[in-house]
Amino acid sequence: MRKLWVFGMLVLAVLVAGCTAEIVVPITYGSAIICSGHPGIYGELYVDGDYAGYLGPNECRTVSGLALGRWHTARLYHPWGGVYSRDFYLEYSGKIVTID
């Protein structure tokens, strides 16, 4: 009887070990406020490779549709050829990110 019980537990363990559960966490989206922190920093703003508009000197621009809980990259292409870049982690919507 004991051998039958051990065999049954072994079969049950093998069956349970083959099962996996997948937890799907939904992505929530928010916005970031990207600001120029210096009068000489201005130009075309791209966030994660997507065009976000023109950012003037000492100006801020709201960029929406960014995934919360993820890293993002803001790049500012100056008209005279300079590139300013800033990586930021978006914990909450409305976070202010300064490029300087």
How do residues 76-88 score in pLDDT, each as one tens digit?
999 998 999 999 9
Per DSSP, the three-state class of 8 is helix
d(CA 54, CA 66): 18
Is 16 within a domain?
no
d(CA 78, CA 72): 20
Tell me, yes or no, if the pTM score tops 0.75. Answer: no
Share of the chain above pLDDT 70, in %: 79
> Number of folded domains in the chain?
1
Is 5 within a domain?
no
Is 69 within a domain?
yes
Is 13 within a domain?
no
Range of the domain at 63: 28-99
For the CA atoms of 10, 14, 15, 19, what is the dihedral angle to 10 degrees?
150
Is 92 within a domain?
yes
The CATH number of whichever domain residue 91 belongs to comes to: 2.60.40
Cα radius of gyration rounded to whole Å, the chain: 25
How do residues 22-33 score in pLDDT, each as one tens digit?
777 788 999 999
